[in-house]
A and B are shown apart, each in its own frame.
Chain A
Amino acid sequence: MKKCVIKLEKLKKNYKMGSVDIYALRGIDMEIDEGEFVCIMGPSGCGKSTLLNLLGCLDKPTEGKYYLNGCDISAMDDDTLSDMRCSYLGFVFQSYNLIPQLSVVENIEIPLYYQGVSPNESRNKSIELASRIGLAERLYHKPTELSGGQQQRVGIARALVNNPLVILADEPTGNLDSTSGKEIMGIFTELHEQGKTIIMVTHDENIAKYGDRIIRLKDGLIEKDERISKRISV
C-alpha cells in the first residue's frame, strides 16, 4: 500500500467577481499516492488552475478539507502555508517565472534560501542540479539569454532543489515547441521513474499520455478519473 500524500474532501472554492459569486470548485474528492504522475485536464474555466493553486497552498479552500502529507491545510495561517510550500512543494510554471535579474544558479537556489540553507551548500546543490539537467555551461547566464526549453529546465531544477514531496506543473510545455516540449516531458518521465509525485495541469491529450492517471474536470467537479496502465516512453 502506497502512502497517500494528498487527500481532498469535498473541496469547494468560491470567488467573488463584483457582486456575483463564482463557484470554481464545487466539491472535489480525491486521493493522490506517492509516486503517481497525475494529469489534470479539462476545458478552460473548469477549475483546473484554481485546483492547482489550492494544491499548491497558494490559496485556501472556501469549504472542505485538504490534507497534504497528513496536515490539514485549510486551518493553516499564512506563515505555515509558506513553510509548507517551502518544504513539500515544487512549482513548474507555464511561463517559467524565472527572476530576470538573477542568474541560472541564483534562480535555482531561491527555495533553499527560504529554507535557511547556508550559501555554500545551496550553491553547490543548485550547480549540481543544473548540471544534471544539462545546463552546466549556462550557470551564470541570465534567463533572457536562454531558449524557452532551457528556461523551463531551470524552472524544473528550481522545483527540485528543495527535494519536494510533490511537483506541481502548470502546463509546463504550453509555451514550448514540440521538440523542447518532448525534452521537458522526458525529464518529467525520468523524475516519475525516480519515484517523484507529479501533478500536471494540461489540455494537450498527447502530453497527458505521459502520466499514469488522468483526472478530467468539468464545471468544478471531477468528470472522470482514469488510470493508464500503458505509458509512452521517450
Chain B
Amino acid sequence: MLSVLSIYRWIRIVKMGFKSLWLHRLRSLLTMLGIVFGVASVIAMLAVGEGASQVAQDQIRRLGSKNIIVRSVKPSLEQKATGQRSRAIEYGITWADATRIRSTIPDVEILVPNRIIRDVVWNTQWRVDGQIVGTVSWYPEMRELQIIEGRYFTEIEVQSVQNVCVLSINTITSLFPNGDPVGKSVRIGSDYYKVIGIIEDEGNIGTPSQTQSFLVQTSENQNKSRKPGERFSPQREIGKRDEQKGPIATPQYRIYIPITAAQKRFGETLVRRTTGTFEAERVELHELIVMVNVEERVEEVAKIVDSILQKYHKQRDYELTIPLELLRQAERTKQIFNLVLGTIAGISLLVGGIGIMNIMLATVTERTREIGIRRALGARKRDIILQFLIETIIMSGTGGLMGIALGLFIPYLITYFATMPTIIRLWSPLIAFGISAGIGVIFGIYPALRAANMDPVEALRHE
C-alpha cells in the first residue's frame, strides 16, 4: 500500500511545484527567460533558414528540374587578343549543335533555342534597356511561365517571321506607365513590334559559381516576382539591376519575339558599344534549353551534351547549367545553414539550462531545512527528487511554451519588416519544446539528487 506512488502524490507534487515557483515569481520568471529565448531563437532561426532555402529551391524548380540550360559564353581575354581585331568575334552554340543534340540523344524531349540581344526598347518617349529574347512558340510552357494578359506568339507567327512581341510584366511600368500595352507597338532599333501579350517574370538563375550569393539575392526579389498581377513602383531598383554584368544578369526587362524575327532583324553579327570601342560578335544561339524526358536521366544527358559540344568547339565558349544540380546544392547549403543556426540556438538553450540549474542549486540550499522536515515526516528520497525535478520541469516547460509563442511571432515580424520569407515547419516547435523539457530534466537531476541525498539529521539542524 505504501509502496504505491499514488496519483494523489503526483497531483500534490505538481501543485506544490507551481506553488513554490509562484512564491518566487520574479526569480522563476528570470530563470525561465533563458529557456524562453533559447526556444524562440531555435524556432525563429530555423524559420528564416527554411524560408530562404525554400525561395531558392522554388526559383531553381522554376527553371525546370528536367532541363539542361546551355549558354554561349564569350571566351576569355587571351584568346580574344589572338583573334583579328577587325573581325567580329565568333563564339557560342550554333544551330548545328542544336540539331546534333536533337538527333543523337533520344532522351531529349524538347529543345528550345534562344537568341538574347541587349538593346533599347522604345515606346514613344519611354525607354527601357531590355533583353530581347528570340525564341520559339513553346517557350512559356517549357519554363512554366504564366501569360498574364493577351497571348504568346504562335508557331505560324514564328514561321512567317512576324514582328510581334510579348513583354515581361516588369517592363510594363517603365515602358507603359499609362498601362494597357496589349495592341500597342514598341520600337527596337528601327523596327516596330506589336505587343500581343504580357508574361510573368522569369526566375532569377545563376551559374553554379554564383549559387552562394544566390540564396541572398533571390529571397529579396521573391515576393515581388511571385505575384505577377501586382503593380510595381516605376523606380524599382533599376540601378541595382544594371550593375549585374554577364550574359545572364537576370531578371531583366525581357521582351520575347519570334526567333526568326530576331535573326532577320538583328542579323548574325551584333555590335556592342562599350566606352570608346566597338565590339562586334557573331553568336548564332545564346541559349539552348534541353528538356529531358525523365528527371533521373538529366545528369547523364548533360554529360552527353557536354561531350557532343566539346567535339565541335575548340575553346570552351559555352556553359551548362543543370537546375537539378543547383537544387541539390541548395539543399546541401540549407542543411549546413540549419546546422549552424541550430547550433547557435542550441547553445543559448544550453545556457538557459545552466541558469536553471544554478537557481535550483541555490533553492535546494535555501530549503535544506524544509527537506529535513519532509524527510523526518516520511518523505522518501524519491519524493524529494520528484519535488525538485518537477519544479525544474515546470520552469523549463513553461519557458518552452512561452518560447514557442515568441518563436512563432518573431518570424512574422521578420517577414513583415525585413520582407524576408520565413517558413515554420511543424517539427521545429516540437523539437524546441522537446529540447527544453529535456534540459529541465537533465539540469534538474543534479540539484534534485543533492537535495535527496542530504542527511536528514544534518538538514534538520541547518539554519
A interface residues with partner B (beta carbon < 8 Å): 53, 56, 58-59, 78-79, 82-83, 85-87, 91, 93, 97-99, 101, 110-111, 113-119, 158, 162
Contacts and interface: CB of A to CB of B under 8 A. Distances in A.
Q: Is the contact region of chain B dominated by helix, strand, or loop, or is it mixed?
A: helix
A101 B18 CA distance: 13
A86 B381 contact: no
B20 interface: yes
Nearest to A100: B370
B12 A113 contact: yes
Interface in B404-463: 456-457, 460
15 contacts: A78-B381, A82-B375, A82-B378, A82-B380, A83-B3, A83-B380, A85-B375, A91-B376, A101-B23, A113-B12, A114-B377, A114-B380, A115-B378, A119-B8, A119-B12
Q: Which of A59, A98, A116, A162 lies at the interface centre, i.e. has the most chain B CB atoms within 10 A of its CB? A: A116
Contacts of B379: 82, 86, 114
Given A97-B369, A99-B370, A58 B8 contact: no
Nearest to B4: A116
Interface residues of B, number: 30
A118 B379 CA distance: 16
Nearest to B23: A101
Contacts of A101: 19-20, 23
B457 A59 contact: yes
Contacts of B319: none
Nearest to B383: A114
A190 to B, nearest CB: 22
A85 B372 CA distance: 13
Nearest to B24: A101
B81 interface: no
B112 interface: no
Nearest to B459: A58
A117 B9 CA distance: 8
B11 interface: yes
Given A116-B9, A117-B8, A111 B380 contact: no
Contact of B382 (A58, A79, A98): A79
Interface in B1-26: 1-6, 8-9, 11-12, 19-20, 23
Contacts of B377: 85-86, 91, 110-111, 114, 158
A86 B5 contact: no
B381 A79 contact: yes
A91 B374 CA distance: 11
A212 B384 CA distance: 38
B9 A58 contact: no
B341 to A, nearest CB: 42
Interface string B290-311: 0000000000000000000000
A10 to B, nearest CB: 22
Interface string B18-53: 011001000000000000000000000000000000
Nearest to A56: B376
A58 B381 contact: no
Given A97-B369, A97-B373, A118-B8, A87 B380 contact: no
Given A86-B2, A111-B377, A115-B378, 20 more contacts: A53-B457, A58-B376, A59-B456, A78-B380, A82-B380, A85-B376, A86-B377, A86-B379, A97-B376, A99-B373, A101-B20, A110-B377, A111-B378, A113-B8, A114-B9, A114-B383, A116-B1, A116-B6, A116-B8, A162-B378
Contacts of B373: 97-99, 110
A138 to B, nearest CB: 20
Contacts of A85: 375-378
A18 to B, nearest CB: 16
Contact of A83 (B5, B372, B378): B378
Contacts of B382: 79
A58 B456 contact: yes
Contacts of B12: 113, 119
A56 B456 CA distance: 11
Contacts of B457: 53, 58-59
Contacts of B381: 78-79, 82
A101 B23 CA distance: 8
Contacts of B375: 58, 82, 85
8 closest A-B pairs by beta carbon, nearest first, are A86-B378, A116-B6, A114-B378, A82-B380, A111-B377, A58-B456, A85-B378, A97-B373
Contacts of A97: 369, 372-373, 376, 460
A110 B13 CA distance: 11
Nearest to B20: A101
Contacts of A82: 375, 378-381, 383
B100 to A, nearest CB: 86
Contacts of A116: 1-2, 4-6, 8-9
Contacts of B376: 56, 58, 85, 91, 97
Contacts of A119: 8, 11-12
Contacts of A98: 373
Nearest to A99: B370
Contacts of A93: 460
Contacts of B380: 78-79, 82-83, 114
A21 B186 CA distance: 108
Contacts of B19: 101
